[in-house]
């Protein structure tokens, strides 16, 4: 292979060369560089559709790369400090699922916090792996899930020495990091693989002011959402592997679920974005850190809001904090985060990342402008003046420790009956109920439905959270496991 450096983008370069050849296409896609769909070409642009092409020898093949895609994978691995990097075009969801399915076969245990993204629990349904949950606990003042306590992880490993792996969020949606180095070392002492969901941690690899990345502490696998803080197109991600994890076997697992028609729009966006971060990542995230810190200080001066940061660190369950995260607690002004989320969008034309019961998250990136930040801060101040009220009647908890009766796979595929959600207490759920974003299930297949869970779901509904996960699109009915299947 040609000697390459981080200044190269092999996939993008191959596409540019291919375009210059003016090849006549008698292959898919059928829009034929946009000529067959003029409205789409006008909407997306001819430049975009001209590189929406099919796999072929000059452009390699994502399923079994041997040339430009493989070169791009090797450059990504070098940039992220991993043994190998896989280009993922089914989103970080498929990367998380590939991690779990590579590490665990049916009937094997995996340790994980319950506040994982739904993709991890979906992986348990697909693979038949058995979850062993570590209760992440909750930060009571803010109502947000914590990281995993090292003592809880140690005890869980001692009680489940046959577990094959542990999955760790790095960071959580709110920016909280567990003691990744200590947990990784502990897992390896017990012969377990360390899988890290870094959907919100791409930037950790490119700036020393940020928390430790999975590869830097010796973790075995990491799912990295380049499309979040890394600048690539939505749905594009990396799966990183390290240590003794087999490249060939991991690729086989990826190919069980990933499309055979990998989008070159997504692939080239990953390639170009990796190049950008490798060359300029420190300066990029220095700027993001500065913008986030400025915005935090401005919001905290409003009063009532609390944009939190490293002052929360406690050496264990909040071992570190992602200072690029603009996570804001809202309850002191008497409004739920989801209420402010709706007001910002509907009345101020400001779209933030998400709002939940007690917090909101505005995603700060290198693409933001100072005047946009000022507009957000001004809007939050005005919302407080217009809508703020006493904070007495607020729901007091975010995290409910689940009662797991069946594995997710057993419950999902069990014989089931459908019933009103409001009358389902005491039954075992056969499906998910979640608020999206952030996509962390309130209820997952195999868990006992309790009055506490139902109260929380209804409170979320009343406050305008977008509920999903059930066959019933209104989330008014739920499938539960039939008695005979328990």
Structure tokens, 409? 């796979």
How many of the other CB atoms lie within 10 Å of CB of 33?
A: 17
Give the mean pLDDT of 341-357: 95
The pLDDT score that the predictor gives to residue 356 is: 87
CA dihedral defined by 18, 21, 23, 27, rounded to 10 degrees?
-10
Pairing of strands 467-468, 433-435: antiparallel
Dihedral sign computed on CA atoms, order 284, 285, 288, 294: negative
Residues 383-388: contacts with CB within 8 Å, 24+ apart?
383/333, 383/335, 383/340, 383/343, 383/344, 384/302, 384/303, 384/304, 384/305, 384/333, 387/333, 387/335, 387/339, 387/343, 388/304, 388/333, 388/334, 388/335
CA distances from 141 to 116, 402, 427 (A): 21, 21, 31
Q: Supply the DSSP string of 437-471, one letter for each residue.
A: TTTEEEE-TTBBP-HHHHHHHHHHHHTT--EE-SS
pLDDT of residue 137: 83
pLDDT of residue 395 exceeding 60, the answer is no
Q: Which pairs with CB-CB distance under 8 Å and at least 24 residues apart come from 299-307?
A: 299/326, 299/328, 299/377, 299/380, 302/377, 302/380, 302/381, 302/384, 303/384, 304/330, 304/332, 304/333, 304/384, 304/388, 305/329, 305/330, 305/332, 305/333, 305/380, 305/384, 306/142, 306/332
Q: What values do phi and psi take at 150, rounded to 5?
A: -60, -40
Please give the average per-residue pLDDT across 123-139, as a whole number.
Answer: 92
First to last CA, the chain: 56
Kindly report the average pLDDT of the chain as a whole number: 94
Whole-angstrom CA distances from 94 to 59, 103, 121, 152 are 23, 14, 12, 28
| Per-residue model confidence (pLDDT) at position 4 | 92
* Residue 394 or residue 248, greater confidence: 248
pLDDT 10s digits, 73-88: 999 999 999 999 999 9
Please identify which residue in the block is written with the tokens 């959580």.
172
Q: Over 80: is that where the pLDDT of 484 sits?
A: no
Distance CA 235, CA 87 (A): 11
Q: Does domain 66-262 have CATH number 3.40.640.10?
A: yes
Domain ranges of the chain: 66-262, 281-387, 408-485
pLDDT above 90 as % of the chain: 84
pLDDT on residue 439: 72
Q: For 281-387, which CATH class? A: alpha beta
Helices (H), 104-201: 118-127, 150-159, 180-189
Query: What tens digit of pLDDT does each residue of 90-103 get?
Result: 999 999 999 999 99
pLDDT at 394 over 80: no
Give the pLDDT confidence score for residue 392 in this predicted structure. 60
Work out the average pLDDT over 395-414: 82
At the second CATH level, the architecture of 408-485 is Alpha-Beta Complex (3.90)
- Rounded to whole angstroms, the Cα distance separating 196 from 192 reads 13
Predicted local distance difference test score (pLDDT) of residue 140: 81
């Amino acid at each position: 292979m040609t000697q390459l450096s981080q200044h190269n983008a092999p996939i993008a370069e191959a596409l540019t060369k291919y375009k210059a050849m003016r090849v006549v296409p008698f292959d898919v896609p059928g829009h034929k560089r946009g000529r067959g769909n003029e409205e789409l070409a006008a909407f997306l642009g001819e430049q975009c559709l001209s590189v929406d092409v099919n796999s072929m020898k000059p452009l390699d093949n994502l399923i079994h790369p041997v040339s430009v895609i493989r070169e791009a994978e090797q450059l990504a691995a070098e940039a992220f400090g991993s043994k190998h990097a896989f280009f993922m075009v089914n989103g970080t969801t498929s990367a998380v699922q590939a991690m779990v399915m590579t590490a665990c076969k049916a009937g094997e245990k995996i340790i994980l916090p319950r506040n994982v993204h739904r993709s991890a629990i979906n992986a348990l349904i697909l693979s038949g792996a058995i979850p062993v949950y570590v209760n992440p606990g909750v930060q009571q003042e803010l109502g947000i899930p914590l990281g995993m306590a090292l003592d809880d992880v140690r005890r869980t490993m001692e009680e489940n020495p046959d577990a094959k792996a542990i999955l760790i969020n790095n960071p959580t949606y709110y920016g909280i990091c567990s003691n990744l180095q200590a947990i990784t070392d502990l897992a390896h002492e017990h012969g377990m693989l360390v899988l890290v969901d870094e959907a919100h941690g791409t930037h950790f690899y490119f700036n020393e002011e940020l928390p430790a990345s999975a590869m830097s502490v010796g973790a075995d696998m990491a799912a990295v959402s380049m499309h979040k803080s890394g600048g690539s197109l939505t749905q594009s991600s990396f799966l990183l592997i390290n240590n003794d994890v087999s490249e060939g076997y991991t690729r086989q697992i990826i190919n069980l679920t990933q499309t055979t028609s990998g989008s070159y729009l997504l692939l080239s966006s990953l390639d170009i974005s990796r190049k950008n971060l490798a060359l300029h990542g420190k300066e990029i995230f220095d700027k993001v850190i500065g913008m986030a810190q400025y915005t935090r200080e401005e919001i905290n001066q409003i009063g009532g809001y609390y944009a939190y940061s490293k002052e929360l660190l406690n050496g264990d369950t909040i071992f570190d904090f992602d200072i690029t995260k603009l996570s804001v607690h809202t309850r002191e002004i008497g409004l739920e985060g989801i209420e402010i989320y709706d007001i910002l969008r509907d009345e101020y034309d400001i779209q933030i990342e998400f709002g939940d019961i007690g917090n909101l998250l505005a995603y700060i990136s290198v693409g933001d402008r100072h005047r946009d930040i000022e507009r957000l801060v001004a809007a939050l101040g005005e919302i407080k003046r217009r809508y703020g009220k006493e904070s007495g009647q607020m729901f007091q908890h975010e995290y409910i420790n689940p009662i797991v009766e069946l594995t997710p796979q057993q419950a999902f595929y069990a014989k089931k009956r459908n019933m009103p959600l409001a009358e389902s207490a005491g039954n075992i759920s056969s499906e998910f109920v979640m608020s999206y974003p952030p996509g962390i299930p309130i209820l997952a297949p195999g868990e006992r439905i309790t009055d506490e869970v139902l109260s929380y779901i209804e409170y979320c509904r009343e406050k305008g959270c977008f509920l999903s996960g059930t066959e019933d699109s209104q989330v008014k009915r739920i499938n539960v496991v039939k008695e005979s299947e328990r």
